[in-house]
């Protein structure tokens, strides 16, 4: 599973988690919502990481934290530095276990997960990190259009962290109508940023993921506007009858 495929797959997974989780939260089933999101997220991570399926080493460290953050939001558990470290540690442990299991196979049957473990044991892990960083920087600064990606990520972070700001105005109605939309988009943003940072050619992850997420968010915003417009005359007429 390459970066483009992962971007669509992971973004779709989190958007599905938002939809399913929000429905269950709306009917006052937060624990079931958290369980459903955990099941969907874990299944997606296994598909992405399994050597026989996605065989993706850089995807799970991006997707797992996003799923974990959404579960915390559903259960209304406050995010602290200890919980951030726990999520990071758990993600790292999961990746190590998957890589180790792949490394246990014969060398000719290993995917790049097992080969990375062997490279790390041989002392070449730092070279891989430097190579990935160099490729990302080359892609980012080698094309002026690519510089719009970090700008867009910063702008999205501002909108999500300041829902009362003028920039967040077009989404404020949607945030009120869909309870998990804002925390869900934060989870998507975290997945995009981590995927962007950890993968070579990682600039493709937020760029491609946005082509799926943005139309869905626009659809939610238009639906919220339509519902408010239809409810407006009824509300006004009812208030006049009360008077």
Within the chain, how many helices (H) and strands (E) appear?
10, 0
pLDDT of residue 241: 45
Position 76 pLDDT exceeds 50: yes
Mean pLDDT of all residues in 46-69: 89
Q: Whole-number mean pLDDT of the chain?
A: 86
Task: Report the range out of 35-39, 124-128, 150-154, 175-179 with the highest average pLDDT.
Answer: 35-39
**Largest Cα–Cα distance in the chain?**
81
Yes or no: say if 153 and 193 are a contact pair by the CB < 8 Å rule: yes
pLDDT of residue 237: 46
| pLDDT tens digits, 92-109 | 898 888 888 888 888 877
Give the C-alpha separation, 138 to 151, whole Å.
17
Is residue 4 very low, low, confident or very high in pLDDT (cuts 50, 70, 90)?
very high
pTM: 0.85
pLDDT of residue 199: 80
Give the C-alpha separation, 209 to 152, whole Å.
12
User: Token match 């690519």: residue?
Assistant: 146
Yes or no: say if 206 and 214 are a contact pair by the CB < 8 Å rule: no
Percent of the chain clearing pLDDT 70 (strictly above): 93
Give the C-alpha separation, 35 to 166, whole Å.
35
User: Token match 């290993």: residue?
Assistant: 110
| pLDDT tens digits, 191-225 | 999 999 888 778 889 999 999 999 999 999 898 88
Give the C-alpha separation, 219 to 217, whole Å.
5
Supply the DSSP string of 104-173, one letter for each residue: TS-GGG--HHHHHHHHHHTT-HHHHHHHHHHHHHHHHHS-TGGGHHHHHHHHHHHHHH-TTSSTTHHHHH
């Amino acid at each position: 599973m390459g970066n483009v495929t992962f971007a669509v797959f992971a973004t779709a997974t989190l958007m599905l988690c938002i939809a399913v989780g929000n429905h269950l939260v709306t009917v006052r089933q937060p624990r079931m919502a958290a369980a459903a999101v955990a099941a969907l997220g874990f299944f997606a991570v296994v598909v992405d990481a399994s050597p026989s399926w996605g065989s993706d080493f850089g995807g799970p460290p991006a997707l797992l934290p996003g799923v974990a953050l959404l579960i915390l939001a559903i259960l209304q558990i406050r995010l602290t530095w200890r919980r951030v470290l726990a999520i990071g540690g758990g993600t790292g442990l999961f990746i190590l276990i998957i890589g180790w299991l792949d490394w246990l196979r014969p060398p000719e049957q290993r995917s790049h997960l097992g080969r990375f473990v062997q490279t790390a044991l041989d002392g070449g892990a730092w070279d891989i990190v430097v190579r990935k960083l160099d490729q990302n920087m080359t892609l980012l600064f080698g094309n002026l259009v690519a510089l719009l990606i970090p700008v867009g990520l910063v702008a999205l972070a501002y909108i999500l962290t300041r829902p009362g700001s003028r920039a967040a105005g077009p989404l404020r109605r949607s945030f009120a109508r869909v309870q998990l939309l804002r925390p869900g988009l934060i989870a998507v943003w975290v997945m995009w940023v981590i995927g962007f940072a950890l993968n070579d050619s990682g600039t493709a992850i937020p760029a491609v993921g946005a082509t799926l997420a943005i139309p869905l968010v626009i659809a939610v915003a238009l639906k919220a506007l339509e519902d408010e417009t239809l409810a407006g005359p009824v509300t006004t007429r009812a208030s006049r009858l009360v008077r």
